[in-house]
Structure 1
Amino acid sequence: MIPVLEQIERDKGIKKDDILRMIEQAVVSAYKKHSGKMVNLEAKIDPETAQVEAFLIKKVVAQVTNDNVEIDEAGAKKIKSGAKLDEEIRIPVVTEDFSRIAAQTAKQVIIQKIRETERQSLLEEFQTKEGVLVGGTVHRFVDHNLIVDLGKAEGILPVREQVRRERFSIGERLKILILKVEKGTRGPKILLSRSHPLLVQRLFEQEVPEVYEKMVEVVEVVREPGFRCKVAVKSNNPKVDPVGACVGVKGSRVRPIIDELRGERIDLIAHSTDPAKYIAASLSPAKVINVNITSEADKHAEIVVSDDMLSLAIGRSGQNARLAARLTGWHIDIKSETQRKEAAQERAAASAEALSQLEGVGPKTVDILIKGGWGSLEKLSQAKPDDLTVLRGVGEKTAEKIIKAAQNTLKERAEAAPPEGKADPEDAEGSAAAETVTETSVEEKPEELKPEG
């Protein structure tokens, strides 16, 4: 029997000593079944000869209350001459009487142990493969979920991890990502994915040697599975072009990845630490004219593209713009050149209207202020005379009057505004009064400030 146990140890990885301990437990269990008594039995197996010895252990007592675990002093001295009270003695048991039951029990225990060990080793093997790309074969369908044969085990591809546009048939081979491995009742429970962004990264590592060797690094992957994917890459070697390395000669490297993803479009983006440059590249294939960082703290940017590129930059149902925003982490507003010009004209008109309301500021002065970048009342109210005197036709006195007028206008607006959250019951009367004042101002308008020089 010992050579057989050694063979099991080599093939299954179960130690011989562990199997011997299990057989000893099987002998104890078999004797209890054979005798039908709850006794205290001890079994020992010689690791060299496989000889089995069993002993009943009983305690020496003055008066026996349970003969299964106790023995009186007279009976104990027949087995051991020097037996004393409260001493445990070992009574040999003939194992041949229940050897058949013991053999069957030992066989069942060993088979069970082998299965448990194999399941545990499989679990440990696949747990190290979480996040790894593997190949498999579609085995069967269960409630729209795919059961994939991975060789040593089976994995499940649930509906939520499938790509909506993909269709597979039984026996078809596919590459798949091991997402999570858990312990199950009948072996490891392996969760697979075809929609996770990491799948795309692993495919690039498999197809592009520079990515596998870390010369080119995949920084970020965002995708709408089955439709479009954007991959940001950067080079750790100045002599290697990251995008070119991933595309390959005439697309020889990226083409197998697209085929494996069943035609999903892939945009390769050169990563940059310059937000404007990175945002412009992320909107590929659209060409960007200008990137205006409106708020770096809030990560908000305004993008300008030509009129014919607007639909391409936004993409179908906003897909391209949405993926670019997820890739860069910025809020992106996309406008065409025409839209930008119209918006600029509206802002200029609003600024001119606001400036023209200032006391003593005429059309020429308004035009000079707007061209000089002083179209905002808030900005003017905080300016210094020296800031405005650099403008053509604006002297120091004129500058002081303009600044004072801007401050007064903002002050009047603040005083006239009702407290937040409260309605002014005299809104109608106030509006009428404002109209009267306006008409009066027009009639008694003071002499306007004219540009000097």
Structure 2
Amino acid sequence: MSPDLYTVIKQICEEKQIPEESVVSTVELALAAAYRKDFADKLQNIHVTLDAQTGNFRVFDMKLVLENVSARIKEEALKLARQKKKAALYMPEFHDHDDEKFNADGVDLNDDDKLIEEGKVLLKFNPRTQITISDAKKIYPDIKVGDEYKEELEVPGDFGRMAAQTAKQVIIQRIREAERSIVFNTYKNREGEMVSGVVQRVEGSVVIIDIGRVNAILPYREQMAGDEYRIGGRLKLVIARVEMTPKGPEVIVSRTHRDLVSKLFELEVPELESGTVEIKAVAREAGSRSKIAVVANEENIDPIGSCVGQRGARVNAVIDELHGEKIDIIEWSANDEKFIASALSPAKVDSVEILDRDERRAKVTVKAEQQSLAIGKGGQNVRLAAKLTLWKIDIVQSETNAVIEISDDEPGDDTENVSQ
């Protein structure tokens, strides 16, 4: 092999951000596949070890040492093994990567006649990947059952054109698989995180966003009403989910995810980053309105003021990123009555009565002039309050006792407490 092989491997590792050992094992497998194609015997289990820095490699026939078997079993096993089209490839996790995998359940491995009759001899002894102890001791007198038998094979001077092509194909395939796996694991571990992306193109109702090592998909159901997607435009998004498909990892991002609001506030509010202020709950109807409940974990800290910022600078930065989505910031309380009353802000509540704690049902009384404000346009305010608090809320007008019931499971955007 070329002494420049190590330089090539290092280059691949840097370009594809793949661990060096993964590339080396890929090259070893490619060389083993090339050797098997042109030089190996059908009864061999080919394994290659590569010294990347020198480019030298060694080829071995690897077998697991078993107890001795009868001559009939051995003869039949050799006959079946020679019917295989090519030698085996050694895999540490498998005895024989290419052989047909038989189901040994219910098979008596001690009944030689039945094994031969049913053609399941290879379940007991496979000469491609196994060797009997008596044969192994002819080469290594101290070897024991369960050890690996390792016989070094001659390395040909030239693999030939077809062998080189085989090696190239395996290298390309395995590096692509390794790269896909790394990308998948990287973004799978980042589900729920906020990322910044650049609009690459629009394909029908789907927007393709460049978020770094991969182009993410922003489907229609994850888009905010009023968003404009211009080529080259930058957006903040949440990684909603990551899936592995036949074409590689698929990253789905969202502009409607409830966590986008809390992540944007964490970006703008240092107190959230330090932990002195905490977002306890978020309720959102994307593109229209959100409510967040915040609490201070230290005395003399105003959690609402921290999120609003001087002259509203912090909350306005979030609103601008969400293209005008209204945001209500309320103070969280462990007292359910106080929390429910605050959640209905900007409406002023006369009283809150807990009707059933197990079913989380509460009755809220408001004056006539506050009723429309408490309910909100299309019921949005009370609906978001129910989602924020996870309580079913009955709105009662103090003068007439007319009841309007809203629960946290009414139609709307999927929202829930982000911490308890």
2:346 maps to 1:285: yes
2:206 maps to 1:205: no
TM-score by length of 1: 0.62
- Which digits, 9 at most, give the CA deviation of each residue in 1:329-363, with x for residues without a partner? 222222334324x99xxxxxxxxxxxxxxxxxxxx
The residue aligned with 1:181 is 242
Structure 2 unaligned spans of 5+: 63-73, 87-134, 140-150, 404-420
2:253 maps to 1:192: yes
The residue aligned with 1:215 is 276
1:216–1:242 Cα contact (<8 Å) kept:
yes
2:29 maps to 1:22: yes
Q: Which residue, out of 31, 55, 60, partners 2:38?
A: 31
The residue aligned with 1:4 is 5
The residue aligned with 2:317 is 256
The residue aligned with 1:408 is none
1:268–1:94 distance in 2 versus 1, CA, 3 Å: closer
The residue aligned with 2:388 is 327
- TM-fit CA distance, 1:165: 3.6
Q: Within 2, Cα distance between the matches of 1:91 and 1:306? A: 91
Q: Structure 1 or 2: larger helix share?
A: 1
Q: Within 2, Cα distance between the matches of 1:19 and 1:145? A: 36
- TM-fit CA distance, 1:215: 0.9
1:171–1:50 distance in 2 versus 1, CA, 3 Å: closer
Structure 1 unaligned spans of 5+: 70-83, 344-453
The residue aligned with 1:315 is 376
Q: Which residue, out of 269, 275, 279, partners 2:336?
A: 275
2:239–2:254 Cα contact (<8 Å) kept:
yes
Aligned length: 321
Instruction: Report 1 or 2 for greater relative contact order, CA contacts < 8 Å, sequence distance ≥ 6.
Output: 2
Q: Within 1, Cα distance between the matches of 2:180 and 2:360? A: 50
1:105–1:269 distance in 2 versus 1, CA, 3 Å: same
1:101–1:303 distance in 2 versus 1, CA, 3 Å: same
- TM-fit CA distance, 1:54: 6.6
Q: Within 2, Cα distance between the matches of 1:46 and 1:278? A: 66
Q: Secondary structure at the match of 1:238?
A: coil
1:157–1:191 Cα contact (<8 Å) kept:
yes
Q: Secondary structure at the match of 1:95?
A: coil
1:87–1:326 distance in 2 versus 1, CA, 3 Å: same
Give the partner amino acid of 1:122: V
- TM-fit CA distance, 1:116: 1.8
- TM-fit CA distance, 1:291: 2.5
The residue aligned with 2:190 is 129
- Which digits, 9 at most, give the CA deviation of each residue in 1:117-165, with x for residues without a partner? 2212111211221110000112223341222111210111222222234
Cα root mean square deviation, aligned: 3.6
2:108 maps to 1:107: no
Q: Which moved more, 1:18-27 or 1:115-124?
A: 18-27
2:38–2:163 Cα contact (<8 Å) kept:
yes
1:230–1:54 distance in 2 versus 1, CA, 3 Å: closer
Q: Which residue, out of 192, 200, 209, partners 1:139?
A: 200
Q: Within 2, Cα distance between the matches of 1:147 and 1:233? A: 34
The residue aligned with 1:392 is none
1:338-357 aligned at under 5 Å gives the runs 338-340=399-401
- Which digits, 9 at most, give the CA deviation of each residue in 1:164-221, with x for residues without a partner? 3433233221100001112223332111111111111111111111111111111110
1:52–1:95 Cα contact (<8 Å) kept:
no
1:27–1:43 Cα contact (<8 Å) kept:
no
2:6–2:54 Cα contact (<8 Å) kept:
no
1:17–1:305 distance in 2 versus 1, CA, 3 Å: closer
Give the partner amino acid of 1:189: E
Give the partner amino acid of 1:27: A
TM-score by length of 2: 0.67
1:222–1:101 distance in 2 versus 1, CA, 3 Å: same
Give the partner amino acid of 1:215: T
1:29-428 aligned at under 5 Å gives the runs 29-31=36-38, 40=44, 42=46, 47=51, 49-51=54-56, 95-96=156-157, 98-340=159-401
- Which digits, 9 at most, give the CA deviation of each residue in 1:25-52, with x for residues without a partner? 13324416xx9x8574857566275456
Give the partner amino acid of 2:168: K
2:14 maps to 1:13: no
Q: Within 1, Cα distance between the matches of 2:358 and 2:46? A: 75
Give the partner amino acid of 2:173: Q
1:2–1:278 distance in 2 versus 1, CA, 3 Å: same
1:56–1:93 Cα contact (<8 Å) kept:
no
Q: Secondary structure at the match of 2:400?
A: helix
1:297–1:53 distance in 2 versus 1, CA, 3 Å: closer
Q: Which moved more, 1:119-128 or 1:312-321?
A: 119-128
Q: Within 2, Cα distance between the matches of 1:297 and 1:92? A: 74
